[in-house]
Amino acid sequence: MSFPSFFSSTNRSADLATTENTIFDLIVIGGGVTGAGICLDAASRGLRTLLLEKKDYASGTSSKSTKLIHGGLRYLKQLELGLVRETGLERAVVHRLAPHLVVPEKMLLPLIKGGNYGKWGTSLGLLTYDWLAGVTGNDRRQMLSREQVLALEPLLKPDDLTGGGYYAEYRTDDARLTIELLKKAITYGARAFNYLQVEDFLYEQERIAGVICTDHLTGNTRSFRAHQVVSASGPWVDGLRQKDQDLGKKHLFLSKGVHVVFPREKLPVRQSIYFDVADGRMIFAIPRGQVTYVGTTDTPFSGDPNRVLTTRSDVQYLLGAVRATFRHTQLRESDIISSWAGLRPLIYEAGKSSSAMSRKDELFVSERGLISIAGGKLTGYRKMAQRTVDLVQRRIHRKGYTPQPCQTGQIPLGSTNLLTKPALSHLQEQVEQRVKSRHLPACMADYLVHLYGPQSSFILDSMSDNDEPQRALAAAEIRFGLRYEQVTTLADFFVRRTGMLYFHNERIPVIREVVTQICQDTLQWSQAQREDNDRELDQLIRDATTFYTTEQLASRAHE
């Protein structure tokens, strides 16, 4: 298996030096899924592309979603047929491109007396949903009786249950999807750097011509030049539009969404469920390996987008919803083993609640040529990228460059070839055998296949025989991350590359020392840098597991 250079954290300063001397066609600001999708689309159409991310890739909203590749059933109710059709169709495309990472997930929609969805409305709604998304065969929706619903999910309270809908969606890992998009973009000649924050713009004859950045790893200032600049900075889009002194007529509205994670045995749902909450909203419970996660909330947010926390009232809301829906669950705050909170960068619509605001994306072009993309969904990243790069291509007048059609529908992620279903099953079997022979817990096979896909064989090959299995696997993973996935901090590895903070946090104390030592040796950290990394990871662990009241948070902000 061959991997691209230019995505290693060890060559950073040399790579940056050559990058500063290049004039790019396109600079993309923001390494979330939107920016990563644009970067791949542009590079694969032959545009010289540079992506800059102020923290780590996917450290914004793109590691905080519900992690569903879905059409968004509730948008059907809001009559957003175009959005549902586009995202619905995209599900199958993204699954085909990364079948290890975007996996089919049947969704159960229990119908209850007085709930959001009635029987006939749901039947028609799901039929329309399938039709818009071109769903065929066994994946088409089924309507279930009350008894069938309880047989599928005995944990549901039977009291108000009247029946259910059963339909097809897909589950993913948002941060891994982002990183695989970037890795693929690098193979097409793109360059990408994390920890480079765009502070201002360069202009030539009143047209945008590049960016000025702070390098957070060295404190240096760096400039990069390009013919076009796209800001895909999610919740930070308006901040950059302000720097360009052109906020336009529309602006962002930030809405916070929280998820909490329980050990699977505490909330042993058999499958994913989309259920009613007493206030008229709907939330998901999604089993994933050894855990079940529940979310999300939807509340207006006006704090610091760089640190979004789960509050006690978020937790109480989600716990209340779970207790009202499932039997035998006396879940308490102390049962929560992790959580995440993210911001939806919605386009503001006067008079609408955040739940009712559209999830559609929009492109804005400023007076001096800054292109900003806002809104949208993880699921629609590819189409958003296509629209953005179509626009960029129309604005590029470089001699010798001919605009190209979008190709990303044919570019596999996480592998050099499109993985067929039998090839994926074969990979799963192989990894299961190797995990067993290495005396690793059986659940590590799923972990490896869903995270790394075909690259898991490479990671298993690099495991040392002379160490305890968990430590040996972690050592192979971190070496892979440093060399091929631009891991630069402990948090990059434990949060964004592996999702361990959310889904396997029992592994962190076991492997933390070995991972830290390899990072220190490879990246030549001083003792102070090691301590900074430790502090940042400790803080993130605390943020994911400690829940303050809003008043406590306000008083802590003044400390």
Binding site for ligand FAD (CB under 6 A): 29-35, 52-55, 59-62, 64-68, 70, 197-198, 232-236, 240, 257, 296, 342-344, 376-379
Minimum distance from CB of 278 to ligand FAD (Å)? 20
Residue 256: CA count within 13 A, CB half-sphere: 18
221-231 and 291-295 strand pairing:
unpaired
As a whole number of angstroms, the distance between CA 521 and CA 519 comes to 5
Residues 296, 259: contact at Cβ < 8 Å?
Answer: yes
Minimum distance from CB of 79 to ligand FAD (Å)? 19
As a whole number of angstroms, the distance between CA 147 and CA 162 comes to 9
Residues 117, 282: contact at Cβ < 8 Å?
Answer: no
Residues 129, 131, 136, 138, CA torsion sign = positive
Q: Give the CA radius of gyration of the chain.
A: 23
As a whole number of angstroms, the distance between CA 399 and CA 363 comes to 26
Residue 378: CA count within 13 A, CB half-sphere: 28
Residues 6+ apart with CB under 8 A from 350: none
Minimum distance from CB of 20 to ligand FAD (Å)? 16
Residue 437: CA count within 13 A, CB half-sphere: 10
Nearer to ligand FAD, 40 or 460 (CB): 40
Minimum distance from CB of 161 to ligand FAD (Å)? 25
Nearer to ligand FAD, 100 or 259 (CB): 259
Nearer to ligand FAD, 202 or 423 (CB): 202
Minimum distance from CB of 411 to ligand FAD (Å)? 19
Closest CA to 192 of 4, 344, 365, 343: 4
Nearer to ligand FAD, 68 or 321 (CB): 68
The token pair that represents 55 in the structure block: 């923290």
Nearer to ligand FAD, 30 or 454 (CB): 30
Nearer to ligand FAD, 116 or 178 (CB): 178
Nearer to ligand FAD, 29 or 192 (CB): 29
Minimum distance from CB of 231 to ligand FAD (Å)? 8
Minimum distance from CB of 196 to ligand FAD (Å)? 7
| Residue matched to tokens 């290890």 | 100
Residues 6+ apart with CB under 8 A from 69: 90, 91, 94, 95, 102, 169, 170, 171, 172, 378, 379
Residue 158 CA: distances (Å) to CA of 108, 121, 145, 340: 15, 21, 12, 30
Minimum distance from CB of 58 to ligand FAD (Å)? 6
Minimum distance from CB of 548 to ligand FAD (Å)? 19
Minimum distance from CB of 437 to ligand FAD (Å)? 36
As a whole number of angstroms, the distance between CA 368 and CA 388 comes to 17
Nearer to ligand FAD, 129 or 444 (CB): 129
Residue 229 CA: distances (Å) to CA of 30, 73, 212, 326, 434: 11, 34, 12, 49, 46
Q: How many CB atoms lie within 10 A of CB 423?
A: 15
Nearer to ligand FAD, 198 or 482 (CB): 198
Residue 473 CA: distances (Å) to CA of 398, 485, 510, 551: 47, 16, 11, 43
Minimum distance from CB of 544 to ligand FAD (Å)? 14
Minimum distance from CB of 279 to ligand FAD (Å)? 17
Residues 6+ apart with CB under 8 A from 390: 406
Minimum distance from CB of 156 to ligand FAD (Å)? 22
| Residue matched to tokens 């879905």 | 70
Nearer to ligand FAD, 55 or 504 (CB): 55
Q: Is 386 exposed, middle or buried (0-12, 13-18, 19+ CB in 10 A)?
A: buried
Nearer to ligand FAD, 48 or 54 (CB): 54
Nearer to ligand FAD, 124 or 356 (CB): 356
Nearer to ligand FAD, 164 or 234 (CB): 234
